Chains A and B, each alone.
Chain A
Amino acid sequence: MDNKVYLITEQDVHAYIDGELTSDRRRAVENFLAERDLPLERAARYLRNNFDLRAVKDEIYKDTVLKAEIDRLLAKRRQRISANA
């Protein structure tokens, strides 16, 4: 059995939502959330907000300044990916 003790921070909860954690750490966060109602509710809200933001993507990108910046950054990413290919 794994006896490591993890300190769980707010940022770990975000990383959990975004699928950024290793399986050990993900488990630690799940254990942490399972025992605490408030962080759990918060995590569920953040997870839900991710879906919501994707659902209203077109509305959000009506902000032309934001849309232009995201397009610029994604174009930069595509260039990097093709340069590395």
Chain B
Amino acid sequence: MNSTANTISTSELNACLPALHRFAYTLTRNEDRAADLVQDCVERCLRKQHLFDGENLRSWMFTVCRRVFLNQIRRDKVRGIAVDMDDAPQSKLSIGALQEEKMHYNDVVEGFAELPHNDKVVLSLVAIEGLKYEEAAELLEVPVGTVRSRLSRARSRLRDLLESNEEQGTASAATV
């Protein structure tokens, strides 16, 4: 590794931005928040560029983005802004965005309700209660591999249910 490996060039950074923005948008589901997240993330990457190992900038930026997003969620939680059906995870949302957020949460609850019981149990243990795969496997008296495959299946099913809801929503919005 040479001595310039740890600096980030503007052109490299710009090349990463479209993908980073898509990543941020999927996390935040809101154009303004995604733009803010990308901004925070870029600032942080530039401030911390001495920590970059010079190998894969895009990969490193996603790691930073994920971390910045987690910090935002935690910070909002501490402030008590987040997280029930009537509140959005971040402040300063427009009424339209708040409604969209609420509808999304409703979709999550409805989609989850349609999952098979085993899927609900494994997602509750890992995603909601934060158990490690090993712990979940012990409690359910199944091999860890079974927890992995159930989890993978449960998330795919939930994703399909949410996507079909989104499509229905778009279709009905288009007919108005």
Contact = CB atoms under 8 A, between A and B. Distances in A.
B121 A48 contact: no
A73 B23 CA distance: 35
A50 B122 CA distance: 12
B26 A48 contact: yes
How big is chain A's contact interface, by range? 35 or more
B133 A30 contact: no
B124 A60 contact: yes
A60 B127 contact: no
Contact of A70 (B84, B129, B159): B129
Interface string B134-159: 01001110000000110110010011
Contact of B22 (A30, A37, A48): A37
Contact of B139 (A42, A60, A76): A76
Interface string A39-80: 011101111111111111111110101100110011011001
Q: Is the interface of B mostly helix, strand, loop or mixed?
A: helix
Q: Which of B60, B63, B139 has most chain A Cβ within 10 Å?
A: B139
Interface of B: 19, 22-23, 26-27, 29, 56, 58-60, 62-63, 66, 73, 82-85, 89, 104-105, 108-109, 112-113, 117, 120-121, 123-129, 131-133, 135, 138-140, 148-149, 151-152, 155, 158-159, 162
Rank and list the top 9 A-B pairs by shortest CB-CB distance, nearest first. Answer: A34-B59, A44-B26, A55-B83, A34-B58, A30-B59, A73-B139, A59-B109, A52-B108, A50-B127
14 contacts: A10-B152, A11-B149, A31-B59, A34-B19, A37-B22, A46-B155, A47-B66, A49-B108, A54-B127, A56-B85, A59-B105, A66-B121, A74-B129, A77-B131
